[in-house]
Amino acid sequence: MHERESKDLRPASGGKFGGTLRVLGNEENNGEGLLFLGNYMALDHSRGADVYLDALKPHAVLICGKRGYGKSYTMGCMLEELAFLPEPVKGNLAALIIDTMGIFWTMRTPNSSEAGRLKSWGLPPAGLEIEVFVPAGNIEAYKKRNIEVKPFSISIRELSGSQWCRILRVEEVSPLGILLVRVVESLREKEDPYSFEDIINEIFLDERSDSASKGAAENYFRAVKSWGLFSKEGTPLSVLIAGGRTTILDVSTLENENVCAAAVSILAGRLYAERLEARRLYEKKQMGEKLEEKEFPMVWLFIDEAHIFVPAKAESLASEVLINRCLRQGRQPGLSLVLATQRPASLHPDVVSQSDLLICHRLTSSDDILALESSRPLYMQESLRAYLKKMGSERGAALIVDDHSESVHMVRIRPRRSWHGGGEPSALDPCKREKEEIKIQIPEKFR
């Protein structure tokens, strides 16, 4: 149990808590598998009791807020808390973040830049043991920058002809699209893995296409090869995911959003399938069968810039898997999804309605507030706009809407223990800033 266990709790509205320890996301949690998120924030912005989030059950969490108000910082806090959970809970959980901005590799380093603030919260800075994966073709560039990373790739076989057309933005019914689909599908029928060279050979063996289409198809696949994300065999999921592990998949070098979405779709689909199998194994064990197999851990999948993957008015390559499997059905097999966006209005409406926890940092755009308001639960006594007004403009302040306890909470998210790589750069010398930070006297009422 966390050392900062709370004795009293002040939800902004609603709530059906009992006992001394209250946890968002699971009223039955009796004090194990807790993620320490921060403190209640009273209307005068003074500091209240501790706020925890349950990690024993799977959750669908939406984090939103305008630029620079704490989305990736909060995601980092959640990743830290998952990594610092005690055994045996930790061993049954794995965290994977799709890092679109390339900012989470810094979590290995303790957050000495906010040492003063951490001290006022009674928290020591701490680095995390993380594994950072990058597209296999980019590994050297990271090594040159002294960033320890591992190669990741997706088997070329995983993508259908039609998915390749979407990635390459080629009309499926154009001569080029017809050639791509025919070649890829004939290779997929053989069931063995294949390389880009195999695809290019197959393109030139095709007797029904003109040479211009063949030349264009070859060029496209040579370009895809240079992204370094696809290979013949691909990285097995077991290399990426293991119980107790925090994995960062840095896709920030991939400029093509369709490619990122394809990667997310494939990974999320595989995680979902593995968890379905693990759930069957779990049920068999519960029913008394003696089985040696180790279960695939319950996964927390974090995705920043979620509007790219589950957009409002279109369908990305990842929409179907994320909405229909992870969000709608993910809780049953034990797959948690944490999505973050600065533009809730650009997000598929199902994301808002299917999330059991909404963590909302400052928002000022009417469209974005409206998008959240439109699926506002009945137990919210005031409008979201009114709550956000009370919350004010403090970075890291958040309104949490918890569908389990049907309650709304105004929270100040705790400082990060590991280094946050997502903040805005400052023209001020970083060493000078650290000294200034330590000099700041924190008034008693804010401690």
Spatial CA neighbour of 253 closest among 228, 219, 275: 228
Spatial CA neighbour of 325 closest among 315, 314, 337, 312: 337
Shortest Å, Cβ 73 to ligand ATP: 3
Shortest Å, Cβ 318 to ligand ATP: 19
Nearer to ligand ATP, 58 or 65 (CB): 65
Report residue 54 as tokens: 């349950």
Nearer to ligand ATP, 72 or 163 (CB): 72
Nearer to ligand ATP, 201 or 393 (CB): 393
Does 88 sit behind a cis peptide bond, omega within 30 degrees of 0 on the bond before it?
yes
Contact 250, 422 (CB under 8 A): no
- The total of other beta-carbon atoms located within 10 Å of residue 50's CB is 23
Shortest Å, Cβ 71 to ligand ATP: 4
Shortest Å, Cβ 65 to ligand ATP: 5
Please give the full DSSP string across 275-302, using - where no structure is assigned: HHHHHHHHHHHHTT----PPPPPEEEEE
Nearer to ligand ATP, 120 or 253 (CB): 120
Sites of contact with ligand ATP (CB under 6 A): 65, 67-73, 342, 395-396, 413, 415, 420, 422-423
Shortest Å, Cβ 384 to ligand ATP: 18
Nearer to ligand ATP, 348 or 417 (CB): 417
Helices (H), 235-383: 237-240, 257-286, 306-309, 319-320, 328-329, 349-354, 366-373
Sequence-distant (6+) residues with CB within 8 A of 426 are 433
Shortest Å, Cβ 422 to ligand ATP: 3
Nearer to ligand ATP, 325 or 362 (CB): 362
Nearest 5 degrees, angle CA 134-CA 297-CA 39?
Answer: 85
Nearer to ligand ATP, 54 or 99 (CB): 99
Distance (Å, whole) CA 76 – CA 168: 33
Shortest Å, Cβ 415 to ligand ATP: 5
